[in-house]
Chains A and B, each alone.
Chain A
Amino acid sequence: AQSVTQLDSQVPVFEEAPVELRCNYSSSVSVYLFWYVQYPNQGLQLLLKYLSGSTLVKGINGFEAEFNKSQTSFHLRKPSVHISDTAEYFCAGRTGGFKTIFGAGTRLFVKA
């Protein structure tokens, strides 16, 4: 079955600390992998995507993610978070077809 699993529903972290948001995927959705960010009452904005090639992908706002085929993971990281990073983050995957499968989301809460 196709699935994307985000292992943490909420992640609280202090400002300027590093953060990792975890995502595992099933092999059937591993062709393309994405991380999106959603601010309250807004749509989703693409942070980064993995298509092929280098397993370390850099995105906007200082985020990066590492594709790990052996562990079927695509974890999102940022070395130093800001208050403005408080949002919900979605991991997603797509095969070559038309459907994108989304994880349940991880709410990142950055504390001062």
Chain B
Amino acid sequence: DGGITQSPKYLFRKEGQNVTLSCEQNLNHDAMYWYRQDPGQGLRLIYYSQIVNDFQKGDIAEGYSVSREKKESFPLTVTSAQKNPTAFYLCASRGPTNTEAFFGQGTRLTVV
């Protein structure tokens, strides 16, 4: 089945550590996105990529980094520079003929 896979589903991080969240899609979509979700704030765009080896900052990119070396993969690294990383992170993708984005199941990151 085609879809978007995020892993892990739950992730715990100590303060000062970097962590990487995985996002893989087999939908052959060019565009991929990372969103952060906090209660009552909806989804905020962190980074997006329109094509392999290219990506742009979204509205809240500080403290995050991404790479897009392969079409199917768009990992997100939450660095120690992110002051409040505890949140639910959602990855999405969209194909050229799609008007809507398709979402993964999310990763819940907790800083302990």
Query: Between A and B, how many residue pairs show CB distances below 8 Å?
Result: 51
Q: With an 8 A cutoff between CB atoms, is B99 at the interface?
A: yes
Known: A34-B100, A43-B103, A44-B90. A104 touches B108 (CB 8 A): no
Interface 0/1 of B42-56, CB less than 8 Å to A: 110100101000000
Select B90's contact among A6, A43, A51, A104, beta carbons within 8 Å.
A43
Complex interface: stretch among A11-19, A63-71, A78-86, A94-102: A94-102
Q: Which of A6, A45, A99 has the most CB of B within 10 A?
A: A99
Task: Please provide the chain B residues from 77 to 108 with a CB less than 8 Å away from any CB of chain A in the complex.
Answer: 88, 90, 92, 94, 99-106, 108
Summarize B's interface: helix, strand, loop or mixed: strand
**A99: which B residues are within 8 A, CB to CB?**
45, 48, 58
Cα–Cα, bound, A98→B6 (Å): 21
Q: Check A41–B43 contact: CB distance below 8 A.
A: no
User: What is the CB-to-nearest-CB distance from A58 to chain B, in angstroms, rounded to a whole number?
Assistant: 16
Given contacts A41-B108, A98-B48, contact A90 B43 (CB under 8 A): yes
Q: Which 4 A-B pairs have the closest CB atoms?
A: A43-B103, A104-B42, A102-B43, A102-B42
